[in-house]
Amino acid sequence: MPKLGMESVRRRSLVEATISAIHTRGSMDVTMREIATRAGVSLGLAHHYFANKDDLLTSAMRAIMTDYRTQVGEALAGADGPHERVRAIIRASLAQDQFNPEVVSAWLVFYAHAHRSPRARRILSIYTRRLHSNLCHELRQLVGERADGVAAGLAALIDGLYVREGLGTARMADSDAYRLLDSYVSLQIAAGPAKTASAA
């Protein structure tokens, strides 16, 4: 009889092995056999849980984004006021579980994979919309109608840091990365809301 809970453990092990293999290869040029070996399970068992490599890659994407969503929720729960809540989202984006070499490599590969996989594209679309919505909700109270543009700028900066980290170019310490993002937000807040045209 299979042990209770072993399916979720093995699924998670295969997902983590996928992320590790992607980081080692620097691409999606990994096989189900390689992933199964890393996870310590048979190839047959890997195929029992995941139909094919694309299914496994999609599950890895979902797992990373679920972890990120959990971290954002926990960070927001302890934040007071819109500026602190924006900072909480920044901290979650740079948390050790997200901003580490293996996960960063996986993010970059997933972005490339989304160009040819509709499933991957949908998952990334959900992530980008949710991040933008969370940021806009808080920024609207700080910069008014400029919230949409400021949120887009902050998301682009976060993506840029991930790209640099993944490529190994101009890497920054976590604390420096946080200060860079926070200074951008602070400058945008200092600039105030959008100016409306005066009535004639």
Q: What is the CA radius of gyration of the chain?
A: 20
Distance CA 77, CA 75 (A): 5
pLDDT digits (tens, 9 = 90+) for 95-131: 888 888 888 888 888 888 888 888 888 988 998 999 9
Confidence (pTM): 0.83
So what's the pLDDT on residue 5?
65
Whether 182 has a pLDDT exceeding 50, the answer reads: yes
Query: Which tokens in the block code for residue 122?
Result: 């949908």
- Interatomic CA distance for residues 187 and 182, integer angstroms: 9
d(Cα 194, Cα 120) in Å, to the nearest integer? Answer: 36
pLDDT, tens only, 136-158: 999 999 999 999 999 999 999 99
For the record, the structure tokens of 127 come out as 């992530």
User: What 3 state SS string does the chain have?
Assistant: CCCCCHHHHHHHHHHHHHHHHHHHHCCCCCCHHHHHHHHCCCHHHHHHHCCCHHHHHHHHHHHHHHHHHHHHHHHHHCCCCHHHHHHHHHHHHCCCCCCCHHHHHHHHHHHHHCCCCHHHHHHHHHHHHHHHHHHHHHHHHHHHHHHHHHHHHHHHHHHHHHHHHHHCCCCCCHHHHHHHHHHHHHHHHHHCCCCCCCCC
- Hey, what amino acid is at 150? V
Question: Is the pLDDT assigned to residue 91 strictly greater than 90?
Answer: yes
Looking at residue 197, its pLDDT comes to 46
- Per-residue confidence band for 170, with pLDDT thresholds at 50, 70 and 90: low
**What's the half-sphere exposure (Cβ side, CA atoms, 13 Å) at 55?**
10
The pair of three-digit structure tokens given for residue 133, joined into one six-digit string: 């919505």
What token pair was written down for 168? 């190994």
Q: Is the pLDDT confidence value at 198 over 60?
A: no
Catalogue the long-range contacts made by 29-32 (C-beta closer than 8 Å, 24 or more residues apart). Answer: 32/56
The whole-number average pLDDT for the span 168-197 is 84
Ordered structural domains, the chain, with CATH: 53-191 (1.10.357.10)
